[in-house]
Amino acid sequence: MSTIRDVAAKAGVHPSTVSRVFSGNAQISESTRERVLAAAQVLNFQPNAIARSLSVRRTKTIGVIVPHVFDGYFTDSFFPQLMAGLLEVTYARGYRLLVGGCNGYQDEHVQAMDILATRQADGIVVTSSRLDVDTVGELQRHNTPTVLIGRPPAQHANVAWVDADNRNATQKVVRYLAGLGHRRIAYVGGDPDSSVVKERLEGYLAGMNEAGLTVSEEWIDYGYFAEDGGYQAVERTRRTEANAPTAYFAANDLMAIGILQGLKERGLAVPEQVSVIGTNDSPEAAHLSPRLTSLQVPYRAMAAAAATRLIDAIAQGQLPRGQTTFESQLIERGSVSSIK
Amino acid sequence: MSTIRDVAAKAGVHPSTVSRVFSGNAQISESTRERVLAAAQVLNFQPNAIARSLSVRRTKTIGVIVPHVFDGYFTDSFFPQLMAGLLEVTYARGYRLLVGGCNGYQDEHVQAMDILATRQADGIVVTSSRLDVDTVGELQRHNTPTVLIGRPPAQHANVAWVDADNRNATQKVVRYLAGLGHRRIAYVGGDPDSSVVKERLEGYLAGMNEAGLTVSEEWIDYGYFAEDGGYQAVERTRRTEANAPTAYFAANDLMAIGILQGLKERGLAVPEQVSVIGTNDSPEAAHLSPRLTSLQVPYRAMAAAAATRLIDAIAQGQLPRGQTTFESQLIERGSVSSIK
DNA sequence: CAATAGACTGCAACCGATTGCGCTGATTAT
DNA sequence: ATAATCAGCGCAATCGGTTGCAGTCTATTG
C-alpha cells in the first residue's frame, strides 16, 4: 500500500501538497493537482483513514452497542428497525456504524465507555436505559457525544434523546380498551427494570384511573419480552376466572403471541372473549390469526432522528442537545373487540 | 483526554514504559507497573485505539456492508441472523463490527473496497455475490482478507466462503414434494442475478429431472424477495389452470406469504389444494395459517463461521481460506400435503 | 515602476501510540 | 573475582496523514 509520501515523491511535490489535493479544501493549481492525481493513480494510492483519524481526531464513525446475547433481541423487530434508521442517515452523511456486542446491561455500559474512551467513534447512540446502571451519568461526566433512544432516568435532565410516547400511547390504548367496555385490563411488560416498561406502566395506571377502573395487582405481569413470558403471563393473571382480564396489552408482539397461545390453550376465543394488543407491529402481527392489533412504535424514524442529531452535533463540535418524542400509532386489526 | 506521555511524566518513566504496561506483553517490574497504573488512574487515561491502530496496523474491526436501501432486507430474517452470528464471534474475539450502508450492488462493491483500502477494518465479510459486479475479483486482486457468505462465481475458485447447500437443499425439497405426488411444482426465486437464486434454480431443475418431471417455463418465476412479488408470482404461474402448479417453493418466507395470499384470493385452499414451502424459517412462519413449512437456512451459524474464519486468518497474518457448506433443514409444518 | 495582494507550495511540528536496539545494574555461572 | 546473562527501562524512529506559518512568484494597483 502506498502512502502520501510515495505519491509526493513520484509527483515531485511535498507530501502536504498531496494531502491538500486529497482533502480538497485548499488552493492547488490545476497542473499540480493533475500530476498528483496521476501519480496517485499509478501507485494505486488510497489515503489511510486511520492515520487521518488520528490527525484530525475524527473517525466518521458512530458507535452502537447491541446486547447480542439476548436471542429475542434479533427476533424482535426493534433491532432491524434500529439498524435501518441508523444506516439510512449514517450512510447519507458519510459515516459508518461501529457495532459492538455486549452481554448484559452492565457490559453495555462498559463497551460504550470503551468505544468512546478509546476514540473509536465520534459519538454513540445508546439504546437501553436501565435505572440500575448509570451509563448515562458516566457518559455525561465524560462529556461525550451521546444520544439516547429512550428517555433517561429523571436525574439526567439535559441529555439528548429521542423516545416514543410510551406513557401516553399506553394510556391511549387503555382508554381505547375501556371505551370498548373492558374493565379488567392486563398489562404485560418486558423487563421491569427498563425505563420503557416503567413508563408504559405509568400510562397504564393513568389510563385505568382516568377510566375510573381500579386495578388488581394480578393484572400486572412481566414477560421479559419473550414469547414464553407472555404465555406464562396468562397463567399468572388468570388464577381466579372471576377476576381474570378481558383484555391484554403486551409490551411487544412476541409476548402477545405467547398470550394468544396461552388463551387458546385455555379455550378462550380471541377477540370474542378476550382482546389482545401487542406492541411494535412486527412482521408476523399481520399474519397471526386473529390478526394482531398492535401499537406501532416508529423505531426506524427514532433511530434516524437520533443519528441525525448526533452527527449534526459532532459536525458542529458540540454536544448533542434536544429531546424529541415520537408518536406511536395503534394499528387496528382483528384481535380486539368490545365487551357486550 | 490524557495521553501516554502525560502518564509517563506523572509516573516518572518513559512513554514506552507506559505503553508496555498497557499492552501487557513485556517485562515490567511490579513497582513501576504500579506507579504507572496509579498515574493512569488519576489522569483517567485510556489508550487511544486509533493511534494504536495506526502503529500496529490492526484495527480489531471487521467490516460488513448492508444494502440499507432495500426495505425488505430489514424485514427478512436474514439480516438479524447475520448480525447475530457476526456479533457473537466478534464480541468473543474482542473485535467490533464496522457496518456501512450501500445503495445497491455496485455501491456495495465500492463501499467494501473503500473500507479496506482506507484500512478501516482488518477484513471484511461480503454477503451478496452477483455475477454482474465483480466484487470478489477485485477483493482478491487486492489481497485483502475476505470471506464470503454465499458462493462466488466459478472463476474465483480459491476465495474463502461459507454457504448454504442451496442446490442440494432445493433438490431435496423438490424430491420431497414429488414424493408426495406433486408433478407440477413452481419455483419462485428472488433476484435472478444473485448466485443463491441461480443455485436454487439448478437444484430445482435437478430435482424435477430426478423425479422424471418435465418442467414448464411458466412454473419458474421471480418475486425479488418481496411479498408482493410472491403474490404476483401466483398470477403469472396460473395462467391456465390445467397447467397450474400444485406446489410452490419460494426463496424466502416473505414471498411465500405473498403466494399464500394470492392463493387465498383465488379460493385455493392450502394445503388441501396447493402446497407451499418457504425459505428462512422466519419468525412469522410458525404463526401463519396454515403454519408455513419452511426451509431453514442456518444463517446465524454461517455468519459465525465466516467471522471465525476471518478473524483466525487475520490473527495469523494470512488470507482466509477454506470453504464450508451448511446444511439447511426443512421445518415441516402445515402448508404441505400430498396429492391424492 | 514600486508596492501590495493573493495564489501556491514547502517546512516541520504534530496526532498518540509501538518497538527494535542498546544501556545499566544485578544475578548467576565458572 | 571475572565473565556471561538477563531483567528492566530509555531512546528515537515510525505508523500515515494534517495544518499553521512562512516564503516565492505572479498579477494587480496606484
- pLDDT tens string A304-317: 999 999 999 999 99
One domain, residues A119 and A241: no
User: How confident is the prediction for chain A on average, in pLDDT?
Assistant: 93
Whether residue A143 lies within 8 A of chain B, CB to CB, comes out as no
One domain, residues A103 and A156: yes
Task: Please compute the mean of the pLDDT values over residues B78-101 and round it to a whole number.
Answer: 96
pLDDT at A7: 96
pLDDT at A128: 77
How many Å does it take to go from CA A6 to C1' C8? 21
pLDDT at B153: 78
Q: Is residue B22 part of a domain?
A: yes
Distance from CA of B290 to the nearest CA of A (A): 10
* CATH for A131: 3.40.50.2300
Whether residue B95 contacts residue B61, with contact meaning beta carbons closer than 8 Å, is answered with yes
One domain, residues B191 and B143: no
B274-296 pLDDT per residue, tens: 999 999 999 889 888 899 999 99
CB within 8 Å of A265: residues ≥ 6 apart: none
Q: Out of B54, B81, B287, whose CB is closest to A50?
A: B54
User: What is the DSSP pairing of strand B96-101 with strand A96-101?
Assistant: antiparallel
Whether residue A331 lies within 8 A of chain B, CB to CB, comes out as no
How much helix, strand and coil, in percent to the nearest 5, is found in chain B?
45, 15, 35
How many Å apart are CA B166 and CA B202, to the nearest integer?
A: 9
Q: Is residue B53 part of a domain?
A: no
Give the CA radius of gyration of chain B: 26
How many Å does it take to go from CA A17 to C1' D17? 11
Q: How far from chain centre, in Å, is Cα B75?
A: 14
From the list A169, A177, A204, the residue with the least C-alpha distance to A327 is A169
One domain, residues A238 and A304: no
How many Å does it take to go from CA B26 to C1' C27? 20
Q: Is residue A129 part of a domain?
A: yes
One domain, residues A26 and A66: no
One domain, residues B159 and B306: yes
A143-180 pLDDT per residue, tens: 889 999 988 877 887 889 999 999 999 999 999 999 99
DSSP letter string over B84-110? HHHHHHHHHTT-EEEEEE-SSHHHHHH
User: How confident is the prediction for chain B on average, in pLDDT?
Assistant: 93
One domain, residues A157 and A217: no
One domain, residues B211 and B183: yes
pLDDT for B129 beyond 80: no
Backbone angles phi, psi at A62, to 5 degrees: -120, 145
One domain, residues A131 and A171: no
How many Å apart are CA A189 and CA A221, to the nearest integer?
A: 6
Cβ of A242 less than 7 A from strand D: no
pLDDT for B132 beyond 80: no
Question: Which residues in B lie closer than 8 A to residue A118 (C-beta atoms)?
Answer: 46-50
- E strand map for B192-303: 220-222, 247-250, 275-279, 293-296
One domain, residues B26 and B144: no
pLDDT for A258 beyond 70: yes
pLDDT at A326: 97
Residue type at A242 in one-letter notation? A
Q: Out of A54, A115, A282, whose CB is closest to B54?
A: A54
Burial class (CB in 10 A: 0-12, 13-18, 19+), B77: buried
pLDDT at B131: 65
3-state SS class at B326: strand
Distance from CA of A195 to the nearest CA of B (A): 24
How many Å apart are CA A328 and CA A295, to the nearest integer?
A: 7
User: What is the DSSP pairing of strand A329-331 with strand A293-296?
Assistant: antiparallel
Q: Is A97's CB within 8 Å of B102's CB? A: no
pLDDT at A141: 80
Task: Please compute the mean of the pLDDT values over residues B118-144 and round it to a whole number.
Answer: 84
Whether residue A90 lies within 8 A of chain B, CB to CB, comes out as yes
> Among residues of chain A, what percentage have pLDDT more than 90?
78
Q: Is residue B181 part of a domain?
A: yes
3-state SS class at B286: helix
Cβ of A96 less than 7 A from strand D: no
One domain, residues A152 and A69: yes
Question: Which residues in A lie closer than 8 A to residue B87 (C-beta atoms)?
Answer: 66, 68, 99-101
DSSP letter string over B25-48? -S---HHHHHHHHHHHHHHT----
pLDDT at B97: 97
Nucleic strand C interface residues, CB < 7 Å: A 12-17, 20, 26-29, 31-33, 51, 54-55, 57; B 1-5, 15-16, 19-20, 22-23, 45, 47-48, 51-52, 54-56
* CATH for B32: 1.10.260.40
CB-CB neighbours of A1 under 10 Å: 12
Q: Is residue A334 part of a domain?
A: no
How many Å apart are CA B147 and CA B82, to the nearest integer?
A: 13
Q: Give CA separation, A161 vs A67, A108, A125, A136, B297, in Å.
A: 20, 18, 9, 11, 38
Q: Is residue B23 part of a domain?
A: yes
Whether residue B249 contacts residue B173, with contact meaning beta carbons closer than 8 Å, is answered with yes
Per-residue HEC secondary structure of chain A comes to CCCHHHHHHHHCCCHHHHHHHHHCCCCCCHHHHHHHHHHHHHHCCCCCHHHHHHHHCCCCEEEEEECCCCHHHHHCCHHHHHHHHHHHHHHHCCCEEEEEECCCHHHHHHHHHHHHHCCCCCEEEECCCECCCCHHHHHHHCCCCEEEECCCCCCCCCCEEEEECHHHHHHHHHHHHHHCCCCCEEEEECCCCEHHHHHHHHHHHHHHHHCCCCCCHHHEEECCCCHHHHHHHHHHHCCCHHHCCCEEEECCHHHHHHHHHHHHHCCCCCCCCCEEEEECCCHHHHHCCCCCEEEECCHHHHHHHHHHHHHHHHHCCCCCCCEEEECCEEECCCCCCCCC
pLDDT at A287: 86
B72 versus A82: the higher-pLDDT residue is: A82
Supply the range of the domain harboring residue A258. 166-297
A61-80 pLDDT per residue, tens: 999 999 888 878 888 889 99
Which residues of A, range 301-330, sit inside 8 Å of B by Cβ? none
Q: Is residue B339 part of a domain?
A: no
For the ranges A152-156, A283-287, B219-223, the maximum mean pLDDT occurs at B219-223
Whether residue A283 lies within 8 A of chain B, CB to CB, comes out as yes
pLDDT at A131: 65
How many Å apart are CA A301 and CA B266, to the nearest integer?
A: 37
CB within 8 Å of A131: residues ≥ 6 apart: A153, A193, A195, A198
Q: Is B66's CB within 8 Å of A83's CB? A: yes
How many Å apart are CA A319 and CA A160, to the nearest integer?
A: 9
pLDDT for B318 beyond 70: yes
Bases in strand C with any atom closer than 7 Å to a protein CB: 7-12, 14-20
Confidence of residue B340 (pLDDT cuts 50, 70, 90): confident
How many Å does it take to go from CA B18 to C1' D14? 18
Domain total in chain A? 3
Residues forming beta bridges with residue B221, ordered by sequence position: B188
Task: Give the residue nearest to nucleotide D9 (CA to C1').
Answer: B17
One domain, residues B275 and B192: yes
Task: Please compute the mean of the pLDDT values over residues B107-131 and round it to a whole number.
Answer: 89
Q: Out of A50, A90, A284, whose CB is closest to B284?
A: A284
Task: Please compute the mean of the pLDDT values over residues B47-63 and round it to a whole number.
Answer: 96
Task: Please compute the mean of the pLDDT values over residues A126-137 and round it to a whole number.
Answer: 78
How many Å apart are CA A256 and CA A295, to the nearest integer?
A: 11
CB-CB neighbours of A177 under 10 Å: 27
3-state SS class at B248: strand
Q: Is residue A340 part of a domain?
A: no
Whether residue A260 contacts residue A285, with contact meaning beta carbons closer than 8 Å, is answered with no
